[in-house]
């Protein structure tokens, strides 16, 4: 017996039996139903931890070769990729071209739903050419359902251009992608509380995975000292304050000394730490840091222990 035509085989499109009466639930009950579904997301992400680690290693290798991490998606998936990419420069001091987010429909799709853009396969392939994707890049397609035409076409074109590719999806992808991508990350979060609304559990899982990939890749590059973000760009009062507090804590100096050290280091928090901890000038501290591969721990020793709250 064949399944009825209205049944979609994609996991993200199936109905959730636990929320079948959500439309007649009281407000607090709706909150509880959604929260109960959300509570399953972390476990689904943990189940694909090995695949996430594999993707991180591919990103690190791309960076070592001078390549980029390129996210490509449509709708919520595309917005989450652009979000993660845009947060790397202020957080880790990376150039904006190092992690790139591409969304179907372009920049206007970030603030306005252009769902039809996800069906444009020609645009998907063209996006890879416009981004000048090359063999040393790692292109990660993001598609909650695994079937988004824009993303499939983009990955196909990226593979033609000899780039390393991966797919992040919350449903099993078509066989051609499963066979051709270098890594598949498939956190199976199951049917949404509201059928097909993949901005919910699938979106949450996607953000968790992207946060982990970009953060871990940056840590592997030496952009953290212990759990401190020492390559941040002080573009706001909040970030300037954070940079000064990091130098104060790591080097045991007061705020004015930390501020002077950062200024002497040309705005580099990690260089200021090495200069202050090792009592060195900028040039010698920079030499030590380079010798340590950019890792502050290798140039200045262990960070201070975390103070108990």
pLDDT digits (tens, 9 = 90+) for 173-218: 999 999 999 999 999 999 988 998 899 999 999 999 999 999 999 9
Which tokens in the block code for residue 150? 């824009």
38 and 45 in contact (C-beta within 8 Å)? no
CA separation, residue 53 to residues 64, 95, 203, 210, 271 (Å): 17, 23, 20, 12, 29
pLDDT of residue 139: 98
CATH architecture of 42-220: 3-Layer(aba) Sandwich (3.40)
Percentage helix, strand, coil for the chain under 3-state DSSP, each rounded to 5: 55, 10, 40
Give me the active site residues, please. 87, 118
* pLDDT, mean over the chain: 93
Residue identified by tokens 């953290």 is 224
For residue range 250-263, what is the model confidence (pLDDT) as tens digits?
999 999 999 999 99
pLDDT of residue 119: 83
Conformation bin of residue 110: beta by default, left when phi > 0, alpha when psi is -120 to 50: alpha
- CATH fold of the domain at 237-300: Helicase, Ruva Protein; domain 3 (1.10.8)
Cβ contacts of 308 within 8 Å, gap of 6 or more = none
Closest CA to 286 of 302, 277, 299: 299
Domain boundaries defined on the chain = 42-220, 237-300
Q: Per residue in 156-169, pLDDT tens? A: 999 999 999 999 99
Q: Please give the pLDDT value at position 1.
A: 43
Instruction: Decide: 230 and 244 in contact? Cβ < 8 Å.
Output: no
Q: What is the pLDDT of residue 5?
A: 60
pTM for the model? 0.92
Q: Which two tokens stand for residue 151?
A: 């993303």
Would you place residue 11 in the very low, low, confident or very high pLDDT band (cuts 50, 70, 90)?
confident
Residue 6 has a pLDDT of 57
Whether 237-300 and 42-220 are alike in CATH topology: the answer is no
Q: Which of 8-17, 170-179, 226-235: highest mean pLDDT?
A: 170-179
Average pLDDT (41-67) is 98
pLDDT at site 239? 86
CA distance 113 to 97: 25
Report pLDDT digits (tens) over 122-139. 999 999 999 999 999 999
What is the C-alpha to C-alpha distance for residues 258 and 248, in angstroms, rounded to an integer?
Answer: 6
Confidence of residue 7 (pLDDT cuts 50, 70, 90): low
- Residue spans of alpha helices (H) in the chain: 27-38, 41-46, 49-64, 75-92, 121-130, 149-160, 175-180, 201-220, 237-251, 255-264, 269-278, 282-291, 296-300
pLDDT at 3 over 60: no
């Amino acid at each position: 017996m064949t399944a009825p035509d209205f049944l979609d085989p994609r996991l993200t499109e199936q109905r959730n039996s636990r929320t079948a009466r959500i439309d007649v639930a009281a407000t607090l009950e709706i909150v509880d139903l959604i929260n109960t579904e959300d509570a399953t997301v972390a476990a689904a992400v943990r189940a694909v931890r090995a695949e996430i680690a594999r993707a991180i290693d591919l990103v690190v290798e791309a960076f070592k070769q001078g390549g980029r991490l390129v996210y490509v998606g449509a709708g919520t998936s595309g917005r989450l990729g652009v979000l993660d990419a845009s947060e790397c420069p202020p957080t880790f001091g990376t150039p904006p071209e190092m992690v790139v987010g591409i969304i179907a429909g372009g920049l206007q799709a970030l603030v306005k739903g252009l769902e039809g853009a996800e069906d444009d396969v020609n645009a998907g392939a063209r996006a890879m050419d416009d981004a000048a994707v090359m063999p040393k890049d790692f292109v990660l397609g993001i598609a909650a359902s695994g079937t988004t035409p824009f993303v499939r076409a983009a990955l196909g074109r990226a593979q033609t251009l000899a780039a390393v590719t991966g797919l992040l999806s919350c449903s099993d992808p078509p066989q051609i992608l499963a066979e051709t991508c270098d890594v598949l990350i498939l956190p199976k979060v199951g049917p949404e509380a509201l059928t097909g609304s993949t901005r919910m559990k699938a979106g949450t899982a996607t953000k968790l995975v992207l946060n982990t990939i970009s953060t871990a890749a940056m840590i592997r590059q030496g952009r953290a000292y212990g759990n401190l973000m020492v390559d941040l760009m002080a573009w706001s009062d909040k970030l300037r304050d954070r940079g000064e507090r990091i130098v104060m804590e790591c080097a045991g100096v007061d705020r004015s000394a930390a501020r002077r050290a950062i200024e002497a280091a040309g705005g580099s928090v990690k260089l200021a730490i090495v200069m202050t901890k090792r009592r060195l000038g900028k040039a010698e501290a920079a030499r030590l840091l380079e010798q340590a591969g950019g890792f502050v721990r290798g140039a200045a020793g262990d960070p201070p222990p975390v103070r108990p709250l």
